[in-house]
Structure 1
Amino acid sequence: MTAATDSSPHLSRIDGLTGARRHFRYFDYVMAAFVAILLLSNLIGASKLANLGGVTFGAGILFFPVSYVIGDVLTEVYGYANARRCVWAGFFAMIFMAFMSFVVVAMPPDSGWTGQAAYEAVFGSTWRIVLASLTAFWAGEFVNSFVLAKMKLMTGGKHLWLRTIGSTVVGQAADSALFYPIAFLGTWTHEQVLTVMVTNWGMKVLWEAVLTPVTYVVVNWLKSREGVEVFDDNLDFSPFAKAKSV
């Protein structure tokens, strides 16, 4: 074992390559939570517009940022390589969800079933929405994880709040900058796209900041159980790095 880290004196420091090959006690549970919240926030929350205090927003925004919090936890506790596995798992799960929704919605309804219109309204999505969701998620999550991992190296593992909020600022900016133009440009005015894009980005970053105490609790609990501190030294940060090289 190597020397303890600056940020966690009771934990042993390991590099990202070692972390990628290590068996962790709770990694599978965190990955399952990440994918589940990602799918549910897109499936259940994305179809409803809510209004609180005169501000209209997609209801999914209340829960989708939680996937970014878990993404922060994955990178902080288990390293970029393991977070990369989770992003790809979530990406392919979203592809399957979109495919399944398309097939089920397109199937001819039974003559006695009267819920087709409501079903299409909830589960039907245009190809632009699907493409926007997949592209924005993939890019935003990888940017978020990359920035957090690099900031951890730069800060020596200190100032977790700065790393989580800073990575979310950049990651959510990439997410919003891709999603809204791809999904709505040409359907909405440029002003509407820009307004919703900036508003939702701000709300997501604020939500991340509010959840910072929760992030600290979860990160500290997981690190104490796993017994190591992962720093992504000498790691290939390409999203397409093969498993054997991570």
Structure 2
Amino acid sequence: MSDEPVKTADQSAPRRFKHYDRIMAAFVTILLLSNLIGASKPSYVILPGGMEWSFGAGVLFFPVSYIIGDVLTEVYGYARARRVIWTGFAALLFMAFMAWAVVSLPAADGWDGQEAYEKVFGNTWRIVAASMIAFWAGEFANSYVLAKMKVWTKGKALWTRTIGSTVVGQGLDSLIFYPLAFYGLAGWPPELLWQVVISQWLIKTAWEAILTPFTYLAVNWLKREEGVEIFDTDTNFSPFAAGDR
């Protein structure tokens, strides 16, 4: 698992990449499905000694979007990762609008699925807002930390920045989402809420660590395929900046 750079690219020169669009599609797909299917359901595992430990079901898949975000920043740089983050944000916004519109439509006579449909897809404004804010803050923090650490480490020790950025990004995501979405709601007592927040953070970070060998493989393969090695030494880190710098 080598950290050796492949080739330094001039970020100012416009170019097309072979796999950038595919990675963007994978990122958005995992982001939408993990938010649609897993975000609202708390589950649990039984720890040694019989203690029941709760966690959010979406934690099984949502961290993959952060791993892809790490790969994007490491290979293509912060500015191109920023474009993908905004694409995911727009997709989440449309998903929320579509869910609201479809759930609000009157059910046809004879269809008995409206109640179940509302329970699964009828997220409140709190959940939607919490999801959007947490995703935006967490992903940009993750990308920023990784880009800065890559410069500090001179491209060495990839694992330090993938895990380090996840500790910050996923921690911020969990800390924002669950309190904003569920604090004070029936079925979410404070002790359960904070247990889920901590569980999400620890499990997401553990996922990143476990999948580190695969991250190395993906990063090194992409750098060879794309012929690129970007260091964000003069990048505009504003989330609202345009362009590839």
Fold in common (TM above 0.5): yes
Residues in 2 aligned to 1:8 and 1:14: alpha-carbon distance in whole angstroms? 15
Residues 178-217 of structure 1: pairs in structure 2 closer than 5 A:
178-187=176-185, 188-217=188-217
Are positions 1:26 and 2:19 aligned together?
yes
Say which SS state the counterpart of residue 230 (structure 1) adopts. coil
Partner residue in 2 for 1:164: 162
* Cα contact 1:143–1:170 (8 A) shared by 2: yes
Residues in 2 aligned to 1:186 and 1:43: alpha-carbon distance in whole angstroms? 22
* Cα contact 1:77–1:223 (8 A) shared by 2: yes
Report Cα offsets for 1:182-221 as digits up to 9, x if no partner: 1122334444432221121111111111111111111111
Report Cα offsets for 1:25-63 as digits up to 9, x if no partner: 100000000000000111122243333333332221100
Are positions 1:55 and 2:48 aligned together?
no
User: Which amino acid is 2:237 matched to?
Assistant: F
Unaligned regions of 5+ residues in structure 1, if any?
1-5
User: Which amino acid is 1:134 matched to?
Assistant: M
Q: CA RMSD in A?
A: 1.7
Residues in 1 aligned to 2:211 and 2:77: alpha-carbon distance in whole angstroms? 21
Residues in 2 aligned to 1:177 and 1:56: alpha-carbon distance in whole angstroms? 16
Residues in 1 aligned to 2:189 and 2:157: alpha-carbon distance in whole angstroms? 40
Distance change >3 Å, CA 128–CA 216, structure 1 → 2? same
- 1:177 offset after TM fit, Å? 1.5
Compare 171-180 and 97-106 and name the one that shifted more.
171-180
Q: 1:71 pairs with 69, 88, 99, which one?
A: 69
User: Which amino acid is 1:236 matched to?
Assistant: N
* Cα contact 1:17–1:232 (8 A) shared by 2: no
Say which SS state the counterpart of residue 25 (structure 1) adopts. coil
Q: 2:8 pairs with 4, 10, 13, which one?
A: 13
Compare 197-206 and 52-61 and name the one that shifted more.
52-61
Alignment size in residue pairs: 237
Partner residue in 1 for 2:109: 111
Partner residue in 2 for 1:41: 34
Runs of 4+ in 1 over 6 A off after TM superposition: none
Report Cα offsets for 1:102-133 as digits up to 9, x if no partner: 00001000011111111111111011000000
Residues in 2 aligned to 1:113 and 1:201: alpha-carbon distance in whole angstroms? 40
Distance change >3 Å, CA 175–CA 75, structure 1 → 2? same
Are positions 1:241 and 2:237 aligned together?
no
Between Structure 1 and Structure 2, which shows a larger proportion of helix residues?
1
Unaligned regions of 5+ residues in structure 2, if any?
47-51
Partner residue in 2 for 1:3: none
* Cα contact 2:54–2:199 (8 A) shared by 1: no
Partner residue in 2 for 1:94: 92
Residues in 2 aligned to 1:183 and 1:90: alpha-carbon distance in whole angstroms? 19
Partner residue in 2 for 1:129: 127
TM-score by length of 2: 0.91
User: Which amino acid is 1:169 matched to?
Assistant: V
Residues in 2 aligned to 1:49 and 1:155: alpha-carbon distance in whole angstroms? 38
Among the aligned pairs, what percent are the same residue?
61
- 1:12 offset after TM fit, Å? 1.7
